[in-house]
Structure 1
Amino acid sequence: MMISDLPADLLDEILSRVPATSLIRLRSTCKQWYNLFKDQMFAEKHLRNVPKQLRVLTLKENRLFLPSVDLNFVPPSIEFSDELSLNNSNNSEEVHIDSAFHCDGLLLCTTRDELVVWNPCLGETMWIKHSEGSKRVKERKPMYALGYENNQSCRSYKILMFWDCDELYDGQVDGFKVYDFNSNAWRVVNYPNCFIMNSHGVNLKGNGYWNAYDDNYVDYILSFHFTGERFIRLCLPPPSQGCMYTSLSVVREELSVLRCVKGSSKIEMWVTTNKMDTSASELSWSKSFTMNFGFPVLVYTGLLIDEDKKVVLCNTIVGDHLRGACTIGEEDKYYSEIAFEGMSLSQPPHIFNYVPSLVRIQEGTELDVFGKSPRRRGDDPPTRRGDTAMCDHDFQFSQEIDDMMS
Structure 2
Amino acid sequence: MHLPEDLVLEILSKVPAVSLARFRSTCRRWNALVVDGSFAKKHYAYGPRQYPIVIMLIEFRVYLVSIDLHGINNNNGAPSAKLTGQFSLKDPLSNSSEEVDIRNAFHCDGLLLCCTKDRRLVVWNPCSGETKWIQPRNSYKESDLYALGYDNRSSSYKILRMHPVGNPFHIESEVYDFASHSWRSVGVTTDFHIQTNESYGMNVKGFTYWFALSKDWWSSDDRRFLLSFDFSRERFQCLPLPADVKNLHLTVVLSVTREEQQLCMFATLGAGNVYKLDVFVATKTEETTGELTWTKFRRFHSKICINVSADHEKKVLVPHHILLPYYNILHIVGEDIYIRQVNKDGDIRCPILLTYVPSLVQIQQGI
> TM-score, structure 1 length as denominator?
0.72
Shift of the 17–239 alpha-carbon distance from structure 1 to 2, 3 Å rule, reads same
Shift of the 327–99 alpha-carbon distance from structure 1 to 2, 3 Å rule, reads closer
Q: Choose the corresponding residue for 1:292, options 291, 298, 301.
A: 301
- The residue number in structure 1 matching 2:192 is 195
Please give the secondary structure, in 2, of the residue aligned with 1:273.
strand
Give the conservation status (yes or no) of the 8 Å contact 2:115–2:121: yes
Deviation string, structure 1 residues 378-405 (Cα, Å, up to 9, x no partner): xxxxxxxxxxxxxxxxxxxxxxxxxxxx
> What does 1:272-283 correspond to in 2, within 5 Å?
272-274=282-284, 276=285, 278-283=287-292
Tell me the CA shift for residue 13 of structure 1.
Answer: 2.9
2:265 maps to 1:265: no
Which structure 1 residue ranges, 5 or more long, are not aligned?
Answer: 301-312, 335-339, 366-406
- The residue number in structure 1 matching 2:264 is 256
1: CA distance, partners of 2:358 / 2:149? 16
> What does 1:36-115 correspond to in 2, within 5 Å?
36-50=33-47, 51-73=49-71, 74-80=77-83, 82-91=85-94, 92-111=97-116, 112-115=118-121
2:24 maps to 1:35: no
Q: Choose the corresponding residue for 2:225, options 220, 226, 235.
A: 220
Of structures 1 and 2, the one scoring higher in RCO (CA 8 A, sep 6+) is: 1
- The residue number in structure 1 matching 2:183 is 186
> What does 1:7-406 correspond to in 2, within 5 Å?
7-50=4-47, 51-73=49-71, 74-80=77-83, 82-91=85-94, 92-111=97-116, 112-130=118-136, 133-136=139-142, 141-151=143-153, 155-164=155-164, 169=167, 171-172=168-169, 174-190=171-187, 192-198=189-195, 199-217=199-217, 218-241=223-246, 242-251=248-257, 252=259, 253-263=261-271, 265-274=275-284, 276=285, 278-293=287-302, 318=323, 321-329=324-332, 345-365=347-367
Deviation string, structure 1 residues 182-206 (Cα, Å, up to 9, x no partner): 2222111035542121211111123
> TM-score, structure 2 length as denominator?
0.79
Shift of the 192–66 alpha-carbon distance from structure 1 to 2, 3 Å rule, reads same
Aligned letter for 1:65? Y
Higher helix share: 1
2: CA distance, partners of 1:13 / 1:273? 32
Tell me the CA shift for residue 75 of structure 1.
Answer: 2.1
Give the conservation status (yes or no) of the 8 Å contact 1:71–1:77: yes
Higher strand share: 2
Give the conservation status (yes or no) of the 8 Å contact 1:225–1:278: no
Aligned letter for 1:238? A
Please give the secondary structure, in 1, of the residue aligned with 2:299.
strand
Please give the secondary structure, in 1, of the residue aligned with 2:364.
coil
Tell me the CA shift for residue 238 of structure 1.
Answer: 1.5
